[in-house]
Structure formats: C-alpha cells, structure tokens
Amino acid sequence: MATFGWPIILILNAVIIILVAIFVIWKVQKEKKAGYPFQDERTSKIQGKAALGTYYINLAFLASIMLWNIFGNEFLSLPELETGYAVIAIMLVNGISFALLSWYYAKKGGF
C-alpha cells in the first residue's frame, strides 16, 4: 500500500467534480436561454413525493442496519458490519431509491 498514490486520486476526483459542475452550469444556462423553466409545478410535486418516499426507505434501511448490528453481533455472532461499507450502502440506497421513485412518479402521472 505504500506505493498507492493518494494525491493523484484526490486531484483526479477534484478535476472530475469541477468538470461535472461546469457541465451542469452550462446545461442550466443553455436551458434558461432557450426559455425552458428550471422547475415547474409537476416536477416539484414529483420530486417532493420521491424525496418523502426516499426518506421512509432510508429510515427502514437504517433501522435494519441497526438491528443487524444489535441482534446479529450480540445474539447470533454474525460478522460485524464495517462503517465504510455501511456508509456506501446508505448512499447507494438513497440515490437509487430517489432515482427510481422519481422515475416511477413521472411515469405514473396523475398529478
């Protein structure tokens, strides 16, 4: 692990974040000049419902992680869940559930 280049990875991450930010800003400015609204009432309602659903999904997921740590480690001698993997799993569940719920409510319609 001594030859692992953290400075290179950190610089690469910073460059990727800057490039994505530049692209997002350019896209928003382009749509604003074209006359498209940034967010209308329907998308606001869809994102609100998706955010609420994501909150409840995350709450259930966090409770399941807590129960795994309490009952799995204390009573069943299951392996302990590492913090890094738990954080990665929480972030993935959060992002994927919001994306899927936004897509579902956009397809469903009826707003």
Domains in the chain: boundaries: 1-38, 40-111
In this prediction, residue 111 carries a pLDDT of 59
pLDDT value at position 60? 97
Sequence-distant (≥ 6) Cβ neighbours of residue 50 within 8 angstroms: 98, 101, 102, 104, 105
| pLDDT at residue 2 in the model | 56
What average pLDDT values come out for the chain (111 residues) when binned by 10 residues? Answer: 70 93 92 79 89 97 91 83 90 96 87 59
pLDDT of residue 105: 93
Q: Look up residue 84 and give its two tokens.
A: 């890094």
**pLDDT of the residue at 110:** 61
